[in-house]
Amino acid sequence: MNIDWSGMITAEHKAEQARKALIASIAARRWQAETGGIDVAGMHIETDDRSKALITGSAIKAMRSAAYTLNWKTPEGFIQIPAEQVLAMADAVSDHVQACFNREAELLEALEAGTFTPDMLEEGWPNEPVHESTPS
């Protein structure tokens, strides 16, 4: 009788599956932070993909015309945002998104180095409080 060992689940296979699951969790957490919105000059700005596209389009228009004014809808109603502030808003959104990807990269580096801990998944994201570890 021959035994087919090719379907055997090894410790290495389990470790690789766990690593892939952590990578997916890190990406999902980045997406959550990335699309969670930011506050700019006392105004909440959504950072979902549609909002980012609208802001980018408005920033392009603002670059072409300093006289441009954006009529932006907020939960409280419409507000007018002059071109200079549109560009600042677009920069803030872009900086936020990049910071989210930077944090994801840091976590993936920690995972690769073997220093990742589950608590790190909730720490260090932009526009959220950073929880300092306290010595025990």
Distance, in Å, from the CA atom of 47 to the CA atom of 97, rounded to the nearest integer, reads 8
pLDDT at 135: 38
Amino acid in position 73: K
Contact 83, 69 (CB under 8 A): yes
The two three-digit tokens of residue 91, written as one number: 């920069």
Q: Kindly report, residue by residue over 118-131, the tens digit of the pLDDT.
A: 999 999 999 764 44
Distance, in Å, from the CA atom of 102 to the CA atom of 99, rounded to the nearest integer, reads 5
Of 94, 110, 97, residue with least CA distance to 26: 110
Q: Kindly report, residue by residue over 76-128, the tens digit of the pLDDT.
A: 899 999 999 999 999 999 999 999 999 999 999 999 999 999 999 999 999 76
pLDDT at 15: 84
